[in-house]
Structure 1
Amino acid sequence: MNIRKGNKKITSSQKTVVILATMDTKGVECDFLRKEIQSLGFNAFLIDISVVGVTNIEVNIYKDEVALEGGSSMAALLEHPSRQEGSEVMVKGSIKLMNQLIANQKVDAIVSLGGTQGTNNGCKVMQALPYAFPKLMVSTMASGDTSAFVGIKDITMMFSVSDILGLNPFFRRILSNAAGAACGMAESYQKIKFAEGKPIVGISNLGVLTQGTVKAIELFKQRGYESIVFHAIGSGSRAMEQMMKDGIITAVFDYGLGDIADALYDGVRAADVERLTVAGKLGLPQVIVPGGIDHIGILLDEPNTVPEKYKNHQYSYHNPVIFVPRTNGDEMIVIMTEISKRLAHSKTKTVFMLPTKGVSSYSAADGDLFDPKSDHVLQLAVKKLLPKTIELIEMDNNAEDTAFVEKAVDTLISLIEA
């Protein structure tokens, strides 16, 4: 029979871990996980997101309520059962319920478990939760490419090794480990706290700009500003811009734009279509440097080889399987055209800074991809294509030179404090 003895009230002072799963097929495992969490001195709060099957364990929020929060009813979902429709409704309802619990400071972590569908649904819910709220997914899918499940959120993926289908001595230990991990994260959970009244600076970075980024972090700190650095390889840039939307980041030193180059030339660091538009739309102060567009990151099928397409380019290797061809003059124009198009949203508080002696360590005078002719083409393209609403500062430096980084930091702070 379906057990409906749920208790949605959380009154204990103990910290609470949510268990989110299809309790019809994962009930035995979730009940064991609950007991493990409780044995560690924490509350366990079960949310059932099953649809078709029968739930035989006690839960805190039953599937009927999840469906209602998701904009449907269990009766409607069961008229013509559809995995896709059921998942959409239950995910939507779970997101709403979880964010209410988090906003009211009722829960401290979430753990979910599942196979292909369960991982997809559990992670969709977690992707909609705030950054830094502890999220653990115990999954049969966790040893493969988990990028679609993790997205740009801080989800911890734990490989279940065996299928999640009944208890045995091995899987009991896996669930016990999961309980320990979730409770540990709940116990150590700290709210994000920043200096009052001081904007948080988001910095995009690439490995070929790291020395400049380290210097920028120091300079911002000396002036009383904290910063968060993001690896500009697609997912990192998306996370930075999501934090702008969330109000966490309120000023930007966009130092690495190699993901724009890769988006145009099928590189491994490719940005999405929204990249470099968010700060402008929000009106955030930003200093932009075309750092890292002097090369593309190409993932090789065979280590240390040269793709036919790039045999006439200067090239190097970031590592044995990441091939980095130099972007020539024509490619620089294409990349700058795209950058300018995306910056059309930036009407105020935006400065574009161009180092004329190379936009990364690769194109410095002693770098593997030194090519002053292509750099000169970039300079001309910037002057021609950059939107007139954006101030341009050119400096006779490499992007990592101390003088250039100091000027970038000073410029951004002047935009912040204007």
Structure 2
Amino acid sequence: MGKVVIVATLDTKGTEVAYLRDRLNALGVDTVVLDSGILGEPTGIVPDVSNAELAESGGTTIAELRASGTRGSAVAQMRDCAIAWVREHHAAGELTGGISVGGVGSVMGAAAIQVLPVGIPKIVVAPTASGHHEFAPYVGTKDVLVMHSVVDILGLNPVLTTVFDNVAAAMAGMLQHGHPLTPPASGPRYVATTMLGNTTAAVGAVRDRLSEHDCETVVFHSNGVGGPAMEELAVDGQFVGVIDYTTNEINDPLVGGIHDGGPDRLRKVGLAGLPQVLVPACIDFSVWAPASIPQEMRSRPRYEHNPEYTLVLATHEEKAEMGRIFAERVSETTGPALIIMPMRGLSIPATPDGPFWDPEGDALFLAALRAHLRDDIEIRTIDLHSNDPALGRIVADAFLELLATSPIATAPKEYA
């Protein structure tokens, strides 16, 4: 069945990883232990892949890493070595799961096991996985189980061994009863879409309309991770097309908000040639924890979405910049694409009596979109609000028109 890779810095975590390895082996789980440590030699364990071997597999040496100048540079290079090792050995069919163990060093292993596809069990166990630290390095865009070790990983004690026993049991259970994500079978056609609370009503209407035409909708929360995860799975062949209804993840990178979709957001689906309909819903705001709103943005109109998240209105300059970004990225598409622009507001607070009502700013976005968009890509303006179910049905019907002309519309399995 293959092995579960355990990635850890064994110069400081060797004895503890040996315990976890033995618990996994006792449950019938085969393992391969990678030493991602840089400074010292493993203690209390003999790794299956030494730090020297891991470095050499990535085209460097442990001596070069130790002489790289800074700890951060050495860690970054060893992380890349671990990522490449896991990618290569999973492609060879040798790995069925991954575990990252450590303190700060767990981020190295987490990056490596995130190479494993959705459905392949992945666990990060670390004292820093407490909710007081950024979870993005642990999870990325994958289905990673994060286990807080409660105590630091330094010496075996009843608390740590209990946590490790449960980590081993969780991995064994997932391997026995779970399954990897497989390519879509013939039958229902799966369509991906993006949504926030600000577009729930409209996306619900999209889903209902598509279901009338033998299409099942897979909805991603456009929270800075959901959009990129959708794009990765689309490229992997999970969907016959995409309705990117909620494209706010291009806004937050401009101002430092929470829902940052990264520099490739809006690119990958088009480059894969998939049919897509895009709606600039929710591009009019960035998302913040209330206490984290920068001082220079505190005078802007705001909307309290819930006690944890506050929405802050984009400026006219930011909307124009987003129009350019939107256009340039969608213009890279190699497949059919259509943009539908709602003209009666881009989010729930964008109504004539709401704090985000800004037709002038929306017009600047649209003007920049038209100025920079490839000539053969159509923009349809619709005199409806972005969260109107009627607009959702219009978007769904437009997507079905694109899908009918796509060569993958009747052959999702072959495309995958």
Structure 1 and Structure 2 fold alike (TM over 0.5): yes
- Provide the residue aligned with 1:3 in structure 2: none
Residues 52-63 of structure 1: matches in 2 within 5 Å?
52-63=40-51
- For 2:58 and 2:321, locate their aligned partners in 1 and report how far apart those are by CA, in whole Å: 45
How far is 1:386 from its partner? Answer: 4.2
SS of equivalent to 2:31: strand
Residues 288-303 of structure 1: matches in 2 within 5 Å?
288-301=278-291
Identify if the C-alpha distance between structure 1 residues 61 and 212 changes in structure 2 by more than 3 Å, giving closer, same or farther: same
Say whether 1:147 aligns with 2:133: no
Identify if the C-alpha distance between structure 1 residues 27 and 295 changes in structure 2 by more than 3 Å, giving closer, same or farther: closer
Moved more, 46-55 or 283-292: 46-55
Say whether 1:107 aligns with 2:119: no
Say whether 1:401 aligns with 2:388: yes
Q: Is this contact kept in 1: 2:331–2:377, CA < 8 A?
A: no
Structure 1: unaligned runs, 5 residues or longer:
1-12
How far is 1:326 from its partner? Answer: 4.0
- Provide the residue aligned with 1:43 in structure 2: 30
- For 1:103 and 1:94, locate their aligned partners in 2 and report how far apart those are by CA, in whole Å: 14
Deviations 1:341-394 (A, max 9, x none): 333323641101012222233324675644556555655665555442211222
- For 1:365 and 1:214, locate their aligned partners in 2 and report how far apart those are by CA, in whole Å: 24
SS of equivalent to 2:95: coil
Deviations 1:162-212 (A, max 9, x none): 221111222211211211222222223212132338764221212100122
- For 1:384 and 1:44, locate their aligned partners in 2 and report how far apart those are by CA, in whole Å: 56
Paired residue type of 1:153 = K
Say whether 1:275 aligns with 2:265: yes
How far is 1:275 from its partner? Answer: 1.6
In the superposition, the TM-score normalised over structure 1's length comes to 0.82
Identify if the C-alpha distance between structure 1 residues 376 and 353 changes in structure 2 by more than 3 Å, giving closer, same or farther: same
- For 1:309 and 1:363, locate their aligned partners in 2 and report how far apart those are by CA, in whole Å: 18
How far is 1:289 from its partner? Answer: 0.5
Identify if the C-alpha distance between structure 1 residues 333 and 80 changes in structure 2 by more than 3 Å, giving closer, same or farther: closer
Identify if the C-alpha distance between structure 1 residues 30 and 335 changes in structure 2 by more than 3 Å, giving closer, same or farther: closer
Say whether 1:344 aligns with 2:331: yes
- For 1:341 and 1:96, locate their aligned partners in 2 and report how far apart those are by CA, in whole Å: 31
- For 1:95 and 1:306, locate their aligned partners in 2 and report how far apart those are by CA, in whole Å: 35
Q: 1:237 aligns with which of 223, 227, 235?
A: 227
Q: 2:218 aligns with which of 198, 212, 228?
A: 228
- Provide the residue aligned with 1:4 in structure 2: none
Q: Is this contact kept in 2: 1:277–1:343, CA < 8 A?
A: yes
- Provide the residue aligned with 1:27 in structure 2: 14
- Provide the residue aligned with 2:410 in structure 1: none
- Whichever of the two has the greater Rg, that structure is 1
How far is 1:238 from its partner? Answer: 2.2
Paired residue type of 1:226 = E
How far is 1:114 from its partner? Answer: 0.9
Moved more, 132-141 or 189-198: 189-198
How far is 1:298 from its partner? Answer: 3.8
- Provide the residue aligned with 1:353 in structure 2: 340
Say whether 1:67 aligns with 2:60: no
SS of equivalent to 2:200: helix
How far is 1:139 from its partner? Answer: 1.0
- Provide the residue aligned with 1:10 in structure 2: none
- For 1:81 and 1:273, locate their aligned partners in 2 and report how far apart those are by CA, in whole Å: 29
**Which structure's relative contact order is higher, taking Cα pairs within 8 Å and 6+ residues apart?**
2
Deviations 1:115-156 (A, max 9, x none): 21x212211212222222111111122122222333223222
Say whether 1:389 aligns with 2:379: no
SS of equivalent to 2:340: strand
- Provide the residue aligned with 1:169 in structure 2: 158
Q: 1:415 aligns with which of 402, 405, 414?
A: 402
Paired residue type of 2:400 = I
Deviations 1:318-347 (A, max 9, x none): 124533344465654343233223333236
Q: Is this contact kept in 1: 2:82–2:109, CA < 8 A?
A: no
- For 1:363 and 1:85, locate their aligned partners in 2 and report how far apart those are by CA, in whole Å: 46
How far is 1:76 from its partner? Answer: 6.4
Identify if the C-alpha distance between structure 1 residues 106 and 397 changes in structure 2 by more than 3 Å, giving closer, same or farther: same
- For 1:387 and 1:157, locate their aligned partners in 2 and report how far apart those are by CA, in whole Å: 43
How many residues align structurally?
Answer: 401
Paired residue type of 1:389 = D
Identify if the C-alpha distance between structure 1 residues 48 and 308 changes in structure 2 by more than 3 Å, giving closer, same or farther: closer
Identify if the C-alpha distance between structure 1 residues 145 and 306 changes in structure 2 by more than 3 Å, giving closer, same or farther: closer
In the superposition, the TM-score normalised over structure 2's length comes to 0.82
- For 2:10 and 2:384, locate their aligned partners in 1 and report how far apart those are by CA, in whole Å: 61
